[in-house]
Structure 1
């Protein structure tokens, strides 16, 4: 009967995308065996996402066998970390090993091809706090990203990554059926364009129009199903009414916030993180005011997703 306690929606239990009980946390795609590593050392930070790599100096030439193991480690762990890489520039092994370097069109340009130097201090308090996938607003989103710590605060400034394969695996079956075959629009204007004039936005639109990607993509290398929507850049689900799109998208983007899908990394000077930008989202914690954090970043050019 209307108005009774029995008919009042429960604020949590009636949310269809909230999963209770045991979670599915698979490191690799179904049917894929874990990698074998004879050259490098693998030290997992969680059982299914994130591993620290030892026995590798990225500033030295990378032979074919080591390159194969590094590529395998990235596919298996989604984000890999290196310490004490003093002579390594992010672009050193972008070409060939990881792919061609690609600059973010909105970051300040560095003095080396594709490299952006990102200094965050008191002028950027809170600006980073949002889960996202790099360059999802482009027709061919970045396949990966490389980040090197130049200067870090005494405390704070960690980065988190979330496994979007796990995010998909743990969706209710009804939701998986609902989103199968749907596409979503990705656009940079609500974020990067927020402080631009309309004239500037119109000029950039010539080369950066809004794009559409599947809500569920298959990883280009492993074929694993991945949830591919994110908070800042995914603006709507194509073909749905405004209210339905907003409700569905809201539930989907929140999946990245579930701790069981995440790994957290504490930076040190000369630490390097390399991540699979299709398989994960990341979140840079801006909790170090008024300290300073300086990073070098490069993205790896991508391909259209399917």
Structure 2
């Protein structure tokens, strides 16, 4: 049985953006112990992480010392029985895109679902389905406004049991303060033009590829895992499509866990990681603005230090299934192991992901207002920037990100494979 996550001993770490690019993101892990939890240590001043004082260019920014936000959490606060489907959306026409991940619904108007008399029942079953399938797709949601998209994101989280203090995330960079950021801080505008300006044209190290693009795997991530309270559900609605390209890929963290041998599973369940994204601070500094340091959708998500400690293997509270969480560009290191061991583990996770395309699903956006909803606790995703080097037009979408619970590992949780096998046996 894996030890409780409530006894995590946090270890702060500062990573440069060069390390993110080379090592697939910012990652850190820490073992659970049987000692009393120690208070969070102070992080030393790190220029690559700090945002500049743009209002006074000639002056040095005051040193910022913020404590890393640990993921130590009383497991009893969140551990619960998996949610069960009621059958409320069984009549919705759909097909599974792959055996492992992805489901597409046809002829469903989500705006109408939100106003239905039994909307709570419908949305609760939709949330459970998203958590089970990882990501679901809807076409041409022309009636879904930004405000309704926000309502949908929040209700999916609420109806599946997220904490009352968890609202919608405000992105530290992609918010209303940017030129292409829209008017609503709770809607992140995913814009190829904004990406070019903030990351590419300014030669941001976060997205630098060098002379030849040979490392597309660095794009894989789960949304905002650098926050103490990361996301449960994200909703992306593309409003403008390039003439070709721009697909998005998702991969199953459940399946990644299932493909690891049992001894390694047990070992990984004892570890935590440091999740961080100093690349956003670096991009802000290069472009002369400050990241959003106020409350970003939850009381715990504040400050300029985008860093937190979470388990390597986490439990999805909706399904009760285990998933590899420490994957992608927002992971800095595995805690309490050597640097070489951390790098090897993180590279191995990504290698498992990219070497096994049968745990992935690739989605082609066809029409404006096509929409995807996914569970960040159990999947990773990556956009395909193949349209950027030509005259294929802009790719632009509006994303609402619901915040969930502090990540934890429930020792009683099981793998997806074991859960489905038990379900089949029970109905045989």
TM bin (shorter chain): 0.7 to 0.9
Give the alignment's TM-score, normalised by structure 1.
0.81
Deviation at 1:103, TM superposition (A): 2.1
Deviation at 1:102, TM superposition (A): 1.6
- CA deviation profile, 1:183-220 (whole Å, cap 9, x unmatched): 0101111x223334499889958453521111101112
**Matching residue of 1:192:** 280
Q: Which moved more, 1:241-250 or 1:87-96?
A: 87-96
Choose from 249, 258, 261 the match for 2:359. 261
Pick the structure with more strand per residue: 1
Deviation at 1:72, TM superposition (A): 2.7
Aligned ranges for residues 112-151 of structure 1 at < 5 Å? 112=184, 114-121=186-193, 123=196, 127=207, 129=216, 130-151=219-240
Provide the aligned length of Structure 1 versus Structure 2: 275
Deviation at 1:40, TM superposition (A): 1.6
**Matching residue of 2:330:** 233
Matched, 1:85 2:141: yes
Call closer, same or farther: CA 1:180–1:116 in 2, change over 3 Å. closer
Deviation at 1:118, TM superposition (A): 2.1
Call closer, same or farther: CA 1:179–1:150 in 2, change over 3 Å. same
Matched, 1:174 2:263: yes
Q: Which moved more, 1:46-55 or 1:97-106?
A: 97-106
**1:103–1:298 CA contact under 8 A, matched in 2:** no
Q: Distance in 2 between matches of 1:153 and 1:131?
A: 21
Deviation at 1:107, TM superposition (A): 0.7
**Matching residue of 1:304:** 406
Runs of 4+ in 1 over 6 A off after TM superposition: 31-35, 198-203
Deviation at 1:275, TM superposition (A): 0.4
Deviation at 1:47, TM superposition (A): 1.3
Q: Distance in 2 between matches of 1:50 and 1:166?
A: 13
Choose from 244, 249, 254 the match for 1:155. 244
Q: Could you say what secondary structure the match of 2:111 adopts?
A: coil
Call closer, same or farther: CA 1:194–1:255 in 2, change over 3 Å. farther
**1:39–1:66 CA contact under 8 A, matched in 2:** no
Give the alignment's TM-score, normalised by structure 2.
0.59
CA RMSD of aligned residues (A): 2.9
**Matching residue of 1:276:** 375
Q: Could you say what secondary structure the match of 2:362 adopts?
A: strand
Pick the structure with more helix per residue: 2
Q: Distance in 2 between matches of 1:215 and 1:68?
A: 27
**1:229–1:253 CA contact under 8 A, matched in 2:** no
Deviation at 1:281, TM superposition (A): 0.3
Q: Could you say what secondary structure the match of 1:102 adopts?
A: coil
Choose from 387, 411, 415 the match for 1:288. 387
**Matching residue of 2:98:** 46
Choose from 43, 68, 71 the match for 2:124. 68
Q: Distance in 1 between matches of 2:372 and 2:266?
A: 35
**Matching residue of 2:62:** none
Point out where structure 1 has 5 or more consecutive residues left out of the alignment.
1-30
**1:35–1:76 CA contact under 8 A, matched in 2:** no
Call closer, same or farther: CA 1:88–1:127 in 2, change over 3 Å. farther
Q: Distance in 1 between matches of 2:343 and 2:86?
A: 40
Deviation at 1:48, TM superposition (A): 1.9
- CA deviation profile, 1:244-288 (whole Å, cap 9, x unmatched): 111122112333322111011111211010000111000000111
Q: Could you say what secondary structure the match of 1:282 adopts?
A: strand
Q: Could you say what secondary structure the match of 2:90 adopts?
A: coil
**Matching residue of 1:105:** 172
Q: Distance in 2 between matches of 1:160 and 1:145?
A: 14
**1:34–1:76 CA contact under 8 A, matched in 2:** no
